[in-house]
Homo-oligomer: A and B are copies of this chain.
Amino acid sequence: MESRVKDPSLASRGREQLYWAERNMPVLMEIRRRFEKEKPLVGQTVAACLHVTKETGVLVRTLAAGGARVVLVPSNPLSTQDDVAAALAEEGIHVYAWRGMSEREYYNAIGFAISFYPTITLDDGADLTATIHKLWHGVKDESLNYVAETAGGVDVEKLVAGLRGGTEETTTGVIRLRALKKAGKLVYPIIAVNDSYTKYLFDNRYGTGQSTWDGVLRATNLLIAGKVVVVAGYGWVGRGVAMRARGLGARRVIVVEADPIRALEAVFDGFEVMPMDKAAEVGDIFITATGNVRVINLGHIFKMRDGAVLANTGHFNVEIDVAGLERVATAKRRIRPYLDEYTLPGGKRVYLIAEGRLVNLAAAEGHPSEVMDMSFANQALAAEYLVKNKLAPDVYKLPDELDREVARLKLKTMGIEIEEMTEEQRQYLSSWTLGT
């Protein structure tokens, strides 16, 4: 099938975006230079179901440089950068993506990817992987009807037989795949890129930490200094979001968390902790980052102050009860791009950013290139690793040496030199008889 993008004429602007991203992704570019020489992916078809951003473009070009045929579809209906999609399509990547897809179009895109009989899947949230598994296990749901519209004649046996493996980018996706494995239903091996230190320690904390606020500022232009910010979830994303709220001058940063150890860390990190029920009454800005469902429900929303702003930076748009809000609101209007005003019965107004979808990807540009540099270096190395190693169906971590190598390259490209252990120090660390 042919690529389908919003507007092919945006390609030249997309190329500039890709140029800028490549300037800021030196680790991935170093891998690309090697791939160009070694061509480790020749013969592979890689289906990437990722946010279609300039950074993904740099990854996709790298995979192509390694010899792969590449198909690119979005992992979120709202996050596609149309100019980048156009540029990649023009270069021969098989792209099916535009910003603002309907749910049906979104699953059409996944069907498009499947129709190429990929040998490797790259996933972000596990929608592509889950779809393949649904097809295999004969699960029925509405999304599969949409998938069938573009992947109608696909032979599932042949598809799965050809799959060498896949990768998964997110915490949320890895949880889904581990559940699948635990249920005995995983049919091909997955490298949980999210488990690489150079991925999960960095992109969520520093990348989402910044880009969430970037999205909030673009959508609202509010001053964060002096505000009461409520962050739901104190995983890596929540930490980053809370840390930057503090850095931007919020006068109270309140963390809502159900896990007692994380909650205690939040307290000792200098944040307030309370249940959402109480936080709802005092917050000015609410950010969800839990990976869970309905962490802001209608009961919470009714308790909020007039003018409260809501945004989600967890993977799926289920963290805020948007459907409930739509149902009860007496009026709704868009007052800025990505900012909707809902009037509640009684007259209070709350403001929802980007329809409750990932705020950093919808209202800003997602993770900055520098941090995706590491995540996508892991993706590229994982794809290569799947080709070079035959793995049984399970969820794997990328080998430590590759992980550390990414860190080493990143430091090098930043011009930062680190300490080298002496021989004496290496020995000291492994001895046990030395005393006080």
Contacts and interface: CB of A to CB of B under 8 A. Distances in A.
A305 B250 CA distance: 26
Contacts of A271: 251
Contact of A410 (B205, B221, B247, B264): B264
B23 A307 contact: yes
Interface in A115-157: 125-127, 130-131, 134, 139, 141, 143
Contacts of A202: 264-265, 268
A246 interface: yes
A332 interface: no
Interface stretch (A85-93, A159-167, A172-180, A381-389): A172-180
B264 A431 contact: no
Contact of A139 (B272, B291, B433): B433
Contact of A19 (B143, B335, B433): B335
A139 B431 CA distance: 14
A201 B23 CA distance: 37
A217 B370 CA distance: 13
Instruction: State the number of copies, please.
Output: 4
Contact of A270 (B250, B370, B417): B250
A20 B339 CA distance: 10
Contact of A183 (B175, B264, B432): B432
A420 B275 contact: yes
A217 B221 CA distance: 13
A428 to B, nearest CB: 4
A337 to B, nearest CB: 9
A201 B276 CA distance: 25
Interface residues of A, number: 123
Q: Which of A126, A263, A264 has the most CB of B within 10 A?
A: A264
Interface string A222-234: 1111100000100
Contacts of A42: none
A141 B292 CA distance: 57
A106 B367 CA distance: 38
Nearest to A435: B127
A260 B413 CA distance: 13
A10 interface: no
B143 A435 contact: yes
Q: Which 5 A-B pairs have the closest CB atoms?
A: A247-B247, A223-B368, A260-B407, A179-B432, A223-B370
Interface of A: 16-17, 19-20, 23-24, 75-77, 103, 106, 125-127, 130-131, 134, 139, 141, 143, 175-177, 179-180, 183, 197-198, 201-202, 205-207, 209-210, 214, 217-218, 220-226, 232, 243-244, 246-252, 256-261, 263-265, 267-276, 278, 291-295, 305, 307, 316-318, 333-336, 339, 364-365, 367-371, 403-404, 407-408, 410-411, 414-422, 424-425, 428-436
